[in-house]
Structure formats: C-alpha cells, structure tokens
Amino acid sequence: MPAAIIDGKETARKIRAGIGVRAATLRKEGIFPCLAVILAGEDPASLSYVGAKEKALAEAGMESRDIRLPQSVGEGELLSLIDQLNRDPAVHGILVQLPLPRHIREDKVIAAIDPAKDVDGFHPFSVGSLVLGQPGFLPCTPHGVLTLLRELPVPLAGAHAVVVGRSNIVGRPLANLLCRRDINATVTLCHTGTRNLEDICREADILIAAAGKPGLVSGAMVREGAVVIDVGVNRVEDPAAKKGYRLRGDVDFDSVAEKAAYITPVPGGVGPMTIAMLLQNVLIAAEPKN
Ligand code: NAP
C-alpha cells in the first residue's frame, strides 16, 4: 500500500492558529510579540525565506522588524546592531538569516545574540541546553520534525531513527533530540564519512533525510513500513517550470512512497513546520517570565 502523506502544511496551520490566539491575549496585556529579522545581501532563497517568515508573523498577529543590510556590511556593524537589539525591550526575538556574506564569521554573530532572544536556537547556550535536556529554545526545523513524528500513531520510544546529515541546524540537533530520555529513540547519525549508508537506512524505523542532495534516498534504501521525513529543499533546474526550477527533497518520493508507511512531501512537509516552530519560539520569548 502506498505511504500515507504527512501533511505538514495542515499541522502547521493548526499550530499557527493556536499561536494567533495566544498572541492576541498578549496584545491585550500590552505585549506586542516582535521578531527582528536581519538579512544581509540579496540571496534569492534567503529573501524568499525571510518573506515567508514575516508574512506568517503578521498572520499570527505578531510584529517583525525587517532589517536589510547590504552584502558589504561589516562584521562590527552587524555585531553592534545585534547589541542594540539585545537591549531593546520591544524586540523579543532576533533572527539572523543564514548564510551570511563570506567575510562575516557566523559563529561570532550567533554568539552575540542574547540567548533569551535566540529564537532560532543556534546560540551555543541553546545548543548546550538541548544536549543537556534543559529548557531552552529548540531549533525550528528539528523541533518541527519532532512535532510531526509525535503526531503519528507510531511509537518513537525504542524505534531506530536514522538521520542522514549532521549539520548544526538540522541533523545534529535532531539526533540529540530523538535520543533524549523523554523520546527514547535509538539514533544513528550518518554523514559523508558513513560506510554502507544504504544498509543503515534500510534498518531505520524512522528515516530522516537532511543532506541537501536531491533524491539521495531511494526506495531501495527504505524498509517496508518505515516513516520517512524529508527535510531537504533543493532547487533543481526545470525549464518547464515558471521560475526555471522546482523544489525537490532529498527523498525520491515516488519510489519511497511505495514502501514507506508515512512520508512527508516537498514542499508541504517539514518547511511549513519550521515556520510554525519559529512563531512558537517568538511567542515564548515574548511571554512574561515568572
Ligand atoms: P548542510 O549544512 O549542507 O549539511 C548537509 C549534511 O548532509 C552534512 O552533514 C553532510 O555530511 C551530509 N551529506 C551530504 N551528502 C551526503 C551523502 N551523500 N551521504 C551522507 N550524508 C551526506 O545542510 P543543512 O543546512 O543541514 O540542510 C540540509 C537540507 O535541508 C537542505 O536541502 C536544506 O535546504 C534543507 N533545509 C530545510 C529546512 C526546512 O525548513 N525544510 C530547513 C533547513 C534546511 P558532512 O558533514 O560529512 O559534509
């Protein structure tokens, strides 16, 4: 039987509706949840991500402070801007859209953000809290994947989860989350140094592809009845498409859907969940702390 489609768009819509209600309550208390969004340069994919985030914030009744900087912006200038935003009580969250121009050290910029406003969850403090299982902002894409998995009638405890990709923003935090005691999956984290990737993937109850390689995971790599989550968003040339490209995931959807029990589509799977989790973090950042 072909796989059931995991509808990330619909799950995200419900979460966003709930966030909208909570944001309205905050506004009545005089708190206007606000995310500062910094974009340096004009990378087309980044422009589109930033636009989607700001639109979603507005729809949920939250504010965004849109800060566009030239590609040539200096690291010092960016750091002093972050310092100002850290001290601005009207700004609850700070998001620096990655990648930054090459001459700017990303780690330095991320470390400059006040951890209390680190709604992307990339600050070393947030990363450490996640690894230690302590409260803190969870990174949006891994949190979105986990939220989708928790909605399925499939036990995560004891399941073998295979994560393909070990980036700091997706694979590594996701692997860390999945093996936390409250989730209790057994995790294998794969990367380009992994031998027998195909064999390892075939052993997965839950297979998560986050490699940035279109169609990397084929049906032959998937166990019958597995859950397959496709984080990949890759632009592949397509002269027939209006924009000249189309989006393709890391999973070869057709062959994998023949074998998996559940699968996320691209687009409409993990992507919308990432934005929903960002809104959730902004809301948490804005809520009064006892
Ligand atoms: P990244 O920083 O480029 O990391 C890719 C990871 O995949 C690396 O760890 C790399 O291994 C591994 N990898 C690449 N090719 C592989 C192969 N053939 N076999 C095994 N491992 C391989 O990418 P990222 O930022 O994590 O993003 C991954 C994908 O998710 C991209 O398509 C990106 O656009 C997408 N994404 C989607 C969302 C969303 O909201 N849907 C959010 C973020 C990212 P090494 O470490 O050995 O190099």
Domain holding 158, by residue range, is 139-270
Residues 105 and 209 in one domain: no
Residues 174 and 65 in one domain: no
* Centroid of ligand 1 to alpha carbon of 88 (angstroms): 34
Pairing mode of beta strands 245-248, 234-237: antiparallel
Q: Whose CA is nearest to atom 12 of ligand 1?
A: 165
Angle between helices 124-132 and 171-178 (to 10 degrees): 30
Tell me the sheet residues that pair with 247.
Answer: 235
* Centroid of ligand 1 to alpha carbon of 80 (angstroms): 31
Domain count, the chain: 2
Query: Does residue 9 belong to any structural domain of this protein?
Result: no
pTM for the full predicted model: 0.98
Query: Does residue 287 belong to any structural domain of this protein?
Result: no
What's the pLDDT at 87?
Answer: 98
Residues 36 and 69 in one domain: yes
Pocket residue to mutate for ligand 1, from 100, 192, 266, most atoms within 8 A of Cβ: 192
Residues 78 and 178 in one domain: no
CATH number at residue 84: 3.40.50.10860
Residues 210 and 266 in one domain: yes
Clarify whether 120 is annotated catalytic.
Answer: yes
Using the 3D structure, point to which of 71, 86, 118 is the last residue of a domain.
Answer: 118
Query: Does residue 288 belong to any structural domain of this protein?
Result: no
What's the pLDDT at 78?
Answer: 98
Query: Does residue 276 belong to any structural domain of this protein?
Result: no
Which residues form ligand 1's pocket by a CB distance below 6 Å?
Answer: 141, 164-167, 169-171, 190-194, 197, 210-213, 216, 231-234, 270-271, 274
Query: Does residue 128 belong to any structural domain of this protein?
Result: no
Residues 185 and 256 in one domain: yes
Residues 157 and 266 in one domain: yes
- What is the sign, positive or negative, of the torsion defined by CA atoms of 244, 229, 4, 259? positive
* Centroid of ligand 1 to alpha carbon of 76 (angstroms): 29
Q: Are 104 and 72 in contact (CB under 8 A)?
A: no
Residues 192 and 244 in one domain: yes
Catalytic residue among 120, 230, 250, 252: 120
CATH number at residue 189: 3.40.50.720
Residues 147 and 246 in one domain: yes
Provide the residue-wise pLDDT of the chain in tens; the chain has 290 residues: 799 999 999 999 999 999 999 999 999 999 999 999 999 999 999 999 999 999 999 999 999 999 999 999 999 999 999 999 999 999 999 999 999 999 999 999 999 999 999 999 999 999 999 999 999 999 999 999 999 999 999 999 999 999 999 999 999 999 999 999 999 999 999 999 999 999 999 999 999 999 999 999 999 999 999 999 999 999 999 999 999 999 999 999 999 999 999 999 999 999 999 999 999 999 999 999 87
Residues 171 and 105 in one domain: no
State both tokens at 130.
Answer: 């996640």
Maximum alpha-carbon separation in the chain? 57
Query: Does residue 12 belong to any structural domain of this protein?
Result: no
Query: Does residue 179 belong to any structural domain of this protein?
Result: yes
Q: Are 211 and 232 in contact (CB under 8 A)?
A: yes
What's the pLDDT at 290?
Answer: 76
Residues 150 and 107 in one domain: no
What's the pLDDT at 188?
Answer: 98
Catalytic residue among 7, 9, 28, 53: 53
C-alpha distances in Å from residue 200, one per residue of 203, 208, 220: 5, 12, 12
Pocket residue to mutate for ligand 1, from 231, 277, 278, 281, most atoms within 8 A of Cβ: 231
In this structure, the number of other CB atoms found within 10 A of the CB of residue 93 comes to 30
Residues 111 and 152 in one domain: no
* Centroid of ligand 1 to alpha carbon of 210 (angstroms): 5
Query: Does residue 23 belong to any structural domain of this protein?
Result: no
* Centroid of ligand 1 to alpha carbon of 105 (angstroms): 20
224-228 contacts at long range (C-beta below 8 A, 24 or more positions apart): 224/259, 225/259, 225/260, 225/261, 226/259, 226/260, 226/261, 227/149, 227/152, 227/154, 227/260, 227/261, 227/262, 227/263, 228/3, 228/256, 228/260, 228/262, 228/263, 228/264
